[in-house]
Chain A
Amino acid sequence: MTFRRISVLLTSLLLISGCSQRTPEQQFLHATTSQVIQPAYRDLAKQSQLLLATITEHCPTDDEASRTQWRNTMASWQRIQAIQFGPIRDLNLAWEIQFWPDKKNLVARKNRSLLQEEQAITLERLQKASVASRGLWSLEYLLFDAQTKTLSTPQRRCQLQAAAAENLASVTQQLSAAWDEKYAAVLTTPGETNDDFPASGNAIAAIIDSYLTHLEIIKGRKLAPALGINNRAKRSNPYLLESWRSQHSLTNLRLNLEALQRLMHQGGLEDFLMAKQQPELAAEINAHLQQLLEKLPTAEAGLFALINEQDVDAITAVYQQLPELIALFKRELPGKLDLQMGFNSNDGD
């Protein structure tokens, strides 16, 4: 290759990589991937590693230190919980982090038997046990449920916590590395030879669809069952909240809504809508997010206590506004951006 050719090639590469040369679609994909998804997974890996370090150092003398770091790790997870495609799905890691909803109370049952059995607790033992005994929900049970202290020795409880934290650190590191080493490039370079995303519309639809599904989960799984909506008995039940043991459910909701704001701003969805001449839609999404955050109860007691005391007006108002935001993601965004949000998966036969 001649010098001239190399310099032409370099110039064109520089042009391609320069932001100004990117289409609005490419800019959105790059912004969401590099400013939202990758940093969030890196943080999750970091917080999980810190959780392991805290448990190793402080169990059993200072459980509160571990609880605080568990909250940090859970907060980190809530910021990226909406992303349910890519490595988390391809490597089948979702349950390794989150075993919830847990209607059969498997997290408690599987941990109880591990705490009471004779066999030594090691990472290998835990990895052979039920997936319900791993991940953040398992650690929540071990750190926050008073029952665990009566079931076994402090030493065994600490071994189990450490094994669960070690597994979580490893899984979240694997996820973060998979994004950094491969999947970020897959998501940001759609094209005919990209087996995951043959066109940019497919990649953008994957992102929007994932956040849409998350909004539906917030409404249908995180709120409706605990509020007794849609169930036959119409009875509220705070034990159906996402993080009832740690009283973290309200914080989770706030973090989920803030994650959507992050998608709009750092993730570039707002800029993308502007570039597509859809400023009204961008403003509408921003306004809904702002209103939902303002409507979230601020009670220190948390959602568990509010539902327990039937003080549900504020959270019911949040629930009632969610369908409007969901409709924007389900119909307006795909309509205005010409996205196909799943064909066979949407209404197959």
Chain B
Amino acid sequence: MKRRQLLLGSGSVLAAGLLGMQQFAGQSATSGLLLSAYTTPEGKHFIAGVGRNGEDVFALEVPWRAHDSLALPGNQQALFFARRPGTRAYVVDLNRGTLQHTITSAPNRHFYGHGCVSVDGRHLFTTENNIDNSSGCIGIYDIRSGFKRLGEWHSHGIGPHQLALLNDGRTLAVANGGIQTHPERGRDKLNLDTMQPSLAYVDSESGTLIDAFLPPHHQQSIRHLAVAPDDSVVVAVQFQGDPDTLLPLAYQHAGEQQLQPLAEDEMIWQRHQQYTGSVCISDDGHRALLSSPRGGIVSAWDLRERKLLSIIKQRDGAGVAFDPNSREFALSNGQGQITSVGAADLMQNRQHSHYFAGRRWDNHMNYVSENHSSQNHSSQT
């Protein structure tokens, strides 16, 4: 898709934003869209796209609070997944800024809020709960036939959350959070004593478990992950155990026998307050950013040396996306702000954050460029 096509799409919601975007056409540093869900103070839920200069491109009200998003190959469409235990996924036409289609989960299944797409662009994989027996599954959908559900694989764990494809185009990395929930019990955690989270590698073509790696403590819920270009995986943890026990909240895995902590120092993890939101890796695989809304920080890491580089203050910060054009990370928070941080110097790039009054940006944000190059390996997928 050419920039023009995105800009010249029709649709009333989009139209207001077009002027804003056109104004900056030609400045590659400010092109592209950030996708994120938000909630208003009145409790209304939206899915939205905003330009890199803070301009609105689309904002669509949806009945269920949404979680992660994902641009489909070609960047003509994006998906937003309902937050668990939601049963909807929304398909947005990025040219028009309109809701094109709503996917409903299969009977006795609900979404966990994340998904990813096969390399050939044919199949969508989503993390789902099998409500009948509380096992985790990976739903498989045919994108070209109106997201028809083709079947499912076992996620090889309970409570699968984020998943991503490795660069072989075949192996799925799945964050099995380990926490059992049931829609009738809302978001209650039903198995904290016996939970067993894992990073599972699952063959997307056969559903076979290739390997699984458990964190050192059974209450280190592995929720989110990101895959680097060299296929090393960074997982982000939410600790469900004793609040005074400080364990690592992020691990890297690149074929070792065990997950490798990004740091051992308790002082670093104390600042994350037992909770991480998103993890996002730069396209060169050198940098990872890890958000902690409870700690009010985003930590920045050198993945080659597994070293903390800096701590960025970010009140209620959760969403992190990487923009390869400007080589910036974008951070969003529950106070309605979006802040740009340079990938090299990790300093805030513009004088102030973009502020969107009345928007509580939900966890997860994704960057969509305006050409065909997708960003599925470089950020949350």
Binding site for B on A (CB under 8 A): 85, 89-90, 92, 95, 101, 103, 131, 192-193, 195-199, 202, 206, 338, 340, 342-345, 347-349
When A and B form their complex, which 6 residue pairs have the shortest distance between CB atoms, in order from nearest?
A343-B334, A344-B293, A344-B318, A345-B293, A343-B360, A345-B294
Please indicate which of the listed interface residues B311, B337, B363 has the most CB atoms of chain A within 10 Å of its own CB.
Answer: B337
Contacts of A348 on B, CB cut-off 8 Å?
275, 277, 293, 318, 363
User: Is B353 a contact partner of A342 (Cβ separation < 8 A)?
Assistant: no
Contacts of A193 in B (CB 8 A): 351-352
* Closest Cβ–Cβ distance, residue A342 to chain B (whole Å): 5
Asked if B270 is at the interface of the complex by the 8 Å CB criterion, the answer is yes
The distance in angstroms between the C-alpha atoms of A192 and B54, with both chains bound, is: 13
Interface membership of B296, Cβ < 8 A = yes
Whether the pair A90, B187 counts as a contact (CB closer than 8 A) is no
**Is B150 interfacial (CB 8 A cutoff)?**
no
Would you call B155 an interface residue if the criterion is a C-beta within 8 Å of the partner chain's C-beta atoms? no
8 Å CB contacts to A: which residues of B300-316?
Answer: 311, 313, 315-316
A206-B352 contact given A343-B334, A344-B363, A348-B275, CB 8 Å threshold:
no
Bound CA span A340–B315, Å: 12
Min distance, Cβ B276 to any Cβ of chain A, angstroms: 9
B339 within 8 A of A: yes
Nearest CB in chain A to that of B354: its residue:
A192
Give bound CA distance, A205 to B270, whole Å: 22
In the complex, how many residues of chain B place their beta carbon closer than 8 angstroms to a beta carbon of chain A? 40
With A345-B293, A349-B67 as contacts: A196 and B357 at CB distance below 8 Å: no
User: Which chain B residues in 331-379 approach chain A with CB under 8 Å?
Assistant: 333-337, 339, 348, 351-353, 355, 357, 360-363
Find chain A residues with CB under 8 A from B348 CB.
195
Q: Could you say which of B270, B277, B351, B361 contacts A95, with CB atoms under 8 Å apart?
A: B270
Chain A residues whose C-beta falls within 8 Å of the C-beta of B294 in the assembled complex: 342, 345
The answer to whether B315 touches A206 (Cβ under 8 A) is yes
The answer to whether A340 touches B41 (Cβ under 8 A) is yes
- Determine how close the nearest CB of chain A comes to the CB of B198; give it in whole angstroms: 18
Q: Indicate if the CB atoms of A198 and B336 lie closer than 8 Å.
A: yes
Task: Tell me whether B187 and A347 are in contact (CB under 8 A).
Answer: yes
Given A199-B357, A348-B318, A349-B83, CB of A342 within 8 Å of CB of B336? no
Q: Is the CB of B267 within 8 A of A95?
A: yes
Per DSSP, chain A at the interface is loop
B84 at the interface (CB under 8 A from A): yes
A191 (CB) vs chain B CBs: closest residue: B355
Nearest A residue (CB) for B83? A349
Whether A344 pairs with B333 at a CB distance below 8 angstroms is: yes
> Given A198-B336, A340-B360, A342-B293, are A349 and B315 also a contact pair (CB < 8 Å)?
no
Taking CB as reference atom, which chain B residue is nearest A103? B244
Q: Which one of B67, B244, B275 has the highest number of Cβ atoms from chain A below 10 Å of its Cβ?
A: B244
Q: Given the known inter-chain contacts A195-B339, A198-B353, please indicate yes or no for A345 contacting B267, CB distance below 8 A.
A: no
The answer to the question of B32 belonging to the interface, with a C-beta cut-off of 8 Å to chain A, is no
Given the complex, which residues of B lie within 8 Å of A342, measured CB to CB?
293-294, 316, 334
Name 25 A/B residue pairs within 8 A (Cβ), A-sorted: A92-B311, A95-B270, A101-B244, A103-B244, A131-B267, A195-B339, A195-B353, A198-B335, A198-B337, A199-B335, A199-B357, A338-B41, A340-B360, A342-B334, A343-B360, A343-B362, A344-B277, A344-B293, A344-B316, A344-B318, A344-B362, A345-B294, A348-B318, A349-B84, A349-B113
How many angstroms between the C-alpha atoms of A151 and B277 in the bound complex?
46
Number of A-B contacts (CB under 8 A): 81
- Within 8 Å CB of A90, what residues of B? 313
Smallest Cβ distance from A138 to chain B, in angstroms?
15
Asked if B334 and A196 sit within 8 Å, CB to CB, the answer is: no
Residues on B with C-beta less than 8 A from A343 are 39, 293, 316, 334, 360-362
Residues of B within 8 A of A345 (CB): 275, 293-294, 296, 316, 334
In the complex, given contacts A92-B271, A202-B315, what are 12 additional A-B residue pairs having Cβ atoms less than 8 angstroms apart?
A85-B296, A198-B336, A199-B336, A199-B357, A206-B315, A338-B41, A343-B39, A343-B293, A344-B318, A345-B293, A349-B83, A349-B363
Contacts of A95 in B (CB 8 A): 267, 270
**Closest A residue, CB atoms, query B332:** A344
Interface positions of B from 150 to 189, Cβ below 8 Å from A: 161, 187
Assembly CA distance A344 to B336 (angstroms)? 11
Min CB–CB distance B14 → chain A (angstroms):
25
Chain A: CB-nearest residue to B245: A103
Task: Please name all residues of chain B whose beta carbon is closer than 8 Å to the beta carbon of A197 when the two chains form the complex.
Answer: 315, 335
CB distance from B2 to the nearest CB of A (A): 34
* B317 is an interface residue with CB less than 8 A from chain A: yes
Closest-CB distance, A204 to chain B (whole angstroms): 12
- With both beta carbons as reference points, the residue of chain B lying nearest to A131 in the complex is identified as B267
What are the residues of chain A within 8 A of B360 when measuring CB–CB?
Answer: 340, 343-344
How far is the CB of B182 from the nearest CB of chain A, in Å?
A: 16
Q: Nearest-CB distance from A226 to chain B (Å)? A: 14
CB distance from B334 to the nearest CB of A (A): 3
Contact A202 B271 (CB under 8 A): no
Complexed CA–CA distance, A48 and B353 (Å):
37
A residues near B339, Cβ cutoff 8 Å: 195
Chain A positions within 8 Å of B161 at CB level: 349
- Cα distance A131–B316 in the bound complex, in angstroms: 27
Closest to B65 in A: A349
Chain B nearest CB from A263 CB (Å) reads: 20
Chain A residue nearest in CB terms to B67: A349
Residues on the B chain within 8 Å of A202, using CB: 315, 335
A197–B355 Cα distance when bound, in Å, is 10
Residues on B with C-beta less than 8 A from A89 are 296
A340 touches B337 (CB 8 A): no
User: In whole angstroms, what is the CA distance A131 to B270 when docked?
Assistant: 12
| Chain A positions within 8 Å of B113 at CB level | 349
Residue of A nearest to B314 (CB): A195
